[in-house]
Structure 1
Amino acid sequence: MKAGWQRKKLAEVLQKTETVNPQLSPESEFDYIDVSSVSNITYQIESTQRLKGVDAPSRARKLVLENDVLFATIRPTLQRIAIVPEYLNGQICSTGYFVLRPKPEIDHRFLFYALFCEEFCRQIEVLQKGASYPAVTDGDVRGQAIAFPPLPEQHRIVTVLDEAFDGIATARANAEKNLQNARALFESHLQSVFTERGEGWELKTLAEIATTFGRGKSRHRPRNAPHLYGGQYPFVQTGDIRNADHVITEYSQTYSEAGLAQSTLWPKGTVCITIAANIAETAVLGFDACFPDSVIGVVANPIQAEVHFIEYLLQSFKSRIQAMGKGSAQANINLGTFENERFPFPSVEVQKQLVAKLDLLRDETQRLESLYQQKLAALDELKKSLLHQAFSGQL
């Protein structure tokens, strides 16, 4: 450890904090900071609830002061960490937070940054318990050790990190904006293809341009009977279609011979449309596969339509189709939605030309997205590197 630095457990460098019961003052109002109040993107308290004591939830028990550091102990790897600003001095937060109030020997912003260090994060991840609702205790956090230099050096390190992280945040915002713009460019062009169409386009139903059009089959009940699964026949579900990028190349389940017998094997090139759960998601089968009746299959008639044109066309109508499925507890549409809907189709030759152009634009969009994702990953690594240097005395 660098000269002048110390290493202590958090319990040794934190002041005691207070718990309160706002229900004892039923008419008094306070700002309540619940676990969802803190953003794990900006690391700030972005919203609070103004409540009367009588309406206080049972978790509203921890008094916070200006410059306290909040660390969410529920799903701690999400890093919902924030510093309490002046305007929330004396307010109340959820017991889902551990409140860190440093002693005078520790700068509160130095402590804030320490909670993002890789060593601290790794230890917290090991300590969390619970599969569906992972959490750590306040004691788990108190038991972690941090290294720190004298206070003047802490101030210097915080100044360097503040400046560097502000620059990283700006660069990250720009990269995310560029990422959104790349996606929006493709969406905009896709929409223009089908709204600014030229002469010779005709309105047709999907049945009119298909050799086969209908829902998938999964007749056996119960549907999760073990003997139906584990064979050689891909069984594509709505989630697989949602996760696909234009073409389905992966699947998470297979049918056995028994599963195939109560279903239908659709050919490679079938356009799949989800009509339940993730509605109006579309993709083209990259292999022969079965799918359930929550998916519509369209096998294109090559004289009438090009497969990938159909998928792009349905992408452009996605928002409109999804709106048709709203209004019930679980959004859904049905085969009739597509039996009655008429879509614009030019000649097959024009369809192929448009698909070639859309494919090129899609490839370029994906190239840009990959570059921006790499930049975002590099910025994240830069933050980790700076934190490592700061808390190992190398900054």
Structure 2
Amino acid sequence: MSIEKPTMWLQTSIGSLCNLINGRAFKPKEWSEAGLPIIRIQNLNNPDAKYNHFDGELADKQRIETGDLLFAWSGTPGTSFGAHVWKGETAALNQHIFKIEFSEALIDKRFLRYAINQTLDELISGAHGGVGLRHITKGKFEATEIAFPSLTEQKVIADKLDTLLAQVENTKARLERIPKILKRFRQSVLAAAVSGRLTEEWRRDSTYNGEGYPASWTFKHLSEVGQLARGKSKHRPRNDPRLFGADYPFIQTGEVANAAGEITSATRFYSEFGLQQSRLFPAGTLCITIAANIADTAILGIDACFPDSVVGFTPKDSEALAYFVKYLIDVNKQDLESFAPATAQKNINLKVLNELRLPFPSLEEQTEIVRRVDQLFAHADRIEHQVNNALTRVNNLAQSVLAKAFRGELTEQWRKDNPELISGENSAEALLERIKAERAAVTPMKKTRKRKVTA
């Protein structure tokens, strides 16, 4: 791909600068508890990823030392591909990764890594395979062209990118911490809401009983403040095409878990036939999952059906608000999960829910609690939205900085101030000629076949 660049720069293929050595296809039976760690793609992208080890005979070319430049050429776009400088101990190179061998006296390693990564979109677009798993061929990688300045300018560019991209990463790391902080904030808001602390000033009563709840609150079973009913999906098989149509929303456990509070749409719908073997719950019903995902909750914003893995709770108008009961279930989720037997698919029953003994304030105070929680959650949602937008901009910023670097914009003034370092014997053209001459002078070693030693 031709890119805009300074006139003193050249455009050259990656293959003209280096040699590529692929890793070894280790078999699971070759893995061991000790020996050299085997570098797989996940070990390049995730420093906490577990290593397999190899304790047998290994060719020197597949032995990796600290500082070696590697390129992951297979995997999922966006997560797997890329050039990396190995920072670990001596290791064995797995397949799907190239070791890149080049003259470090003539090419700056950091610059080469950045230059390769700046072409990732082009490389991935030409990769073989489907959407999930793709491969960049050796020929495609070698033929891909990069911008190539003088050696001194390579080092200046790498220095600038080291500084700028470190700042980008630091900003990204700080932003990525905020959603976790907001999650803890929401949890603390709910804990304060169902313990009476959130409305203590509003209540004008700071008296608490021995269990830590306001003295004015009373403990009640769910069956006293409303009605619990399991969803229905009696027909078998459950995937009978006659069950489905476009009339009645059909909600399942995953949609409850991912609803972020309220369910306002559906991806599947029952037909009239489907409705006959189910039950339509009205908007405002509290959905509680009792199988697979235990005690996930959401309020129906639409009339909907759901299977028996979901329970619908309809509060008595004079006793409770659905949202307040939701908060109580959310805070006690871990306790409810403990009631589920240790089976392949965890589940609890209506008896467990009906016998829950939970603290309830007056309906007026429940209304105030829901109002305050909604207000605080809306504030947290606004912050999270702003953070997500900022993260998108920061993620784009890294590519923007790389693009500027490889258009020569980061070093424009430096070139004006140092013309002698980019011309004559110091020029990119002279440098590339030296690289070609050095590579031509290296005679490949004759391959020898390994033989089994016999007595």
Whether these two folds match at TM > 0.5 is yes
Q: 1:306 to 1:170 in 2, by over 3 A?
A: same
| Structure 1 position 348 matched with structure 2 position 339 | no
Deviation (angstroms), 1:354: 0.5
Residue in structure 1 matched with residue 64 of structure 2 by the alignment:
64
The range that moved more, 18-27 or 184-193, is 18-27
Deviation (angstroms), 1:263: 0.9
Residue in structure 1 matched with residue 95 of structure 2 by the alignment:
95
| Structure 1 position 174 matched with structure 2 position 177 | no
Letter in 2 for 1:226: P
Letter in 2 for 1:187: Q
Q: 1:87 to 1:77 in 2, by over 3 A?
A: closer
Deviation (angstroms), 1:366: 0.8
% of aligned pairs identical?
32
Q: 1:165 to 1:252 in 2, by over 3 A?
A: same
Aligned mate of 2:215, from 187, 199, 224: 199
Residue in structure 2 matched with residue 221 of structure 1 by the alignment:
236
Residue in structure 2 matched with residue 366 of structure 1 by the alignment:
381
Deviation (angstroms), 1:183: 2.5
**Which blocks of at least 5 consecutive residues in structure 1 are unaligned?**
none
The range that moved more, 278-287 or 148-157, is 148-157
Q: Distance in 2 between matches of 1:25 and 1:374?
A: 44
Q: Distance in 2 between matches of 1:193 and 1:55?
A: 63
Deviation (angstroms), 1:356: 0.6
Residue in structure 1 matched with residue 20 of structure 2 by the alignment:
16
Contact 1:241–1:248 (CA under 8 A) maintained in structure 2: yes
**Which blocks of at least 5 consecutive residues in structure 2 are unaligned?**
197-212, 411-455
**How big is each residue's C-alpha offset from its partner over 1:158-217, in whole Å with a ceiling of 9 and x where there is no partner?**
11111111111222222222332223122112112224531232222322221x312111
Q: 1:108 to 1:246 in 2, by over 3 A?
A: same
Deviation (angstroms), 1:47: 4.7
Residue in structure 2 matched with residue 33 of structure 1 by the alignment:
39
Letter in 2 for 1:318: K
Secondary structure at the counterpart of residue 77 of structure 1: coil
Q: 1:334 to 1:133 in 2, by over 3 A?
A: farther
Contact 2:222–2:353 (CA under 8 A) maintained in structure 1: yes
Q: Distance in 2 between matches of 1:217 and 1:2?
A: 69
Letter in 1 for 2:77: P
Residue in structure 2 matched with residue 49 of structure 1 by the alignment:
51
Q: Distance in 2 between matches of 1:341 and 1:141?
A: 62
| Structure 1 position 284 matched with structure 2 position 299 | yes
Residue in structure 2 matched with residue 332 of structure 1 by the alignment:
347
Q: 1:102 to 1:352 in 2, by over 3 A?
A: farther
Q: Distance in 1 between matches of 2:183 and 2:299?
A: 20
Q: What TM-score do you get using the length of structure 2 for normalisation?
A: 0.76
Q: How does 1:29-178 map to 2 (within 5 A)?
A: 29-39=35-45, 45-47=47-49, 49=51, 51-53=53-55, 62-65=62-65, 66-79=67-80, 81=82, 83-85=84-86, 87-89=88-90, 91-104=91-104, 105-117=106-118, 119-125=119-125, 127-178=127-178
Contact 1:77–1:121 (CA under 8 A) maintained in structure 2: no
Deviation (angstroms), 1:18: 5.9
Deviation (angstroms), 1:235: 0.9
Contact 1:27–1:54 (CA under 8 A) maintained in structure 2: no
Contact 1:215–1:293 (CA under 8 A) maintained in structure 2: yes
Q: Distance in 2 between matches of 1:316 and 1:26?
A: 45
Q: How does 1:248-267 map to 2 (within 5 A)?
A: 248-267=263-282
Q: Distance in 2 between matches of 1:136 and 1:151?
A: 28
Deviation (angstroms), 1:257: 1.2
Q: Distance in 2 between matches of 1:26 and 1:39?
A: 22
Secondary structure at the counterpart of residue 11 of structure 1: helix
Q: What TM-score do you get using the length of structure 1 for normalisation?
A: 0.87
Residue in structure 1 matched with residue 314 of structure 2 by the alignment:
299
Q: Distance in 2 between matches of 1:282 and 1:107?
A: 55
Q: Distance in 1 between matches of 2:388 and 2:323?
A: 27
Letter in 1 for 2:86: P
Q: 1:62 to 1:54 in 2, by over 3 A?
A: closer
Q: 1:227 to 1:67 in 2, by over 3 A?
A: same
Count of residue pairs the alignment pairs up: 384
**How big is each residue's C-alpha offset from its partner over 1:42-78, in whole Å with a ceiling of 9 and x where there is no partner?**
xxx445536342699xxxx943343212325111321
Letter in 2 for 1:71: A
Q: Distance in 2 between matches of 1:137 and 1:192?
A: 57
**RMSD of aligned alpha carbons:** 2.9
Q: 1:340 to 1:34 in 2, by over 3 A?
A: farther
Q: Distance in 1 between matches of 2:170 and 2:331?
A: 33
Q: 1:278 to 1:24 in 2, by over 3 A?
A: closer
